[in-house]
Amino acid sequence: MTHNAVKQRFGSGRLWAAAIIGCCFALSCAHSHAEQVHRFADHEVHYIIIPTTFLESEIADQYQVARARNRALINVSVLNKDKQAVTANISGSSRNLLGQTQNFDFRQVQEGDAIYYLAELLHSDEDTQRVTLEVTLASGRRGQINFNQKMYLED
């Protein structure tokens, strides 16, 4: 599909950017950065970590994401039982094997019906990050997600 055909299908501006980001996230799964899902309180929390170098510079600029070999983007979205995106309060942190900790500053992005939360993670090559995400639903119910992610410097 040509650039113009894609643009006609998805429109311009934000919807176009959302389509590009979605493609980047889909492509990232092929590079061993698999999306994961955590279920609690009749909700699904989808989360993924991808290298920021996977984003085109224009898209990174639009979403205020710094592209660098040692940076990754954390994307979190919350769906209700009807698979509709809902707002939530997302916080989190990570700790590497040396005990160095960083807290995430998630920001909400809304594109049409899609709602997702973005934060950046700094890392070294072959660095294992122990990530903790805290999700608070509008109802006040809380869920915690813990996982390890091995990070690599990307070109």
pLDDT at 26 over 90: no
Say if residue 56's pLDDT is above 50. Answer: yes
Q: Give tens-digit pLDDT for 84-142.
A: 999 999 999 999 999 999 999 999 999 999 999 999 999 999 999 999 999 999 999 99
Predicted local distance difference test score (pLDDT) of residue 154: 77
CATH code at position 132: 2.60.40.3340
**Does residue 15 carry a pLDDT above 80?**
no
What is the domain range of residue 40? Answer: 3-151
Report the C-alpha gap between 45 and 80 in whole angstroms: 9
| pLDDT exceeds cutoff 60 at 78 | yes
Sequence-distant (6+) residues with CB within 8 A of 13 are none
Burial 135-144 (b: 16+ CB within 10 A, else e): bebeeeeebe
Phi-psi region at 41: left, alpha or beta (left = phi > 0; alpha = psi -120 to 50): left
Average pLDDT, the chain: 84
Domain count, the chain: 1
Query: What pLDDT does residue 117 have?
Result: 98
pLDDT for res 21: 54
Handedness of CA 40, 149, 69, 120 (dihedral sign): positive
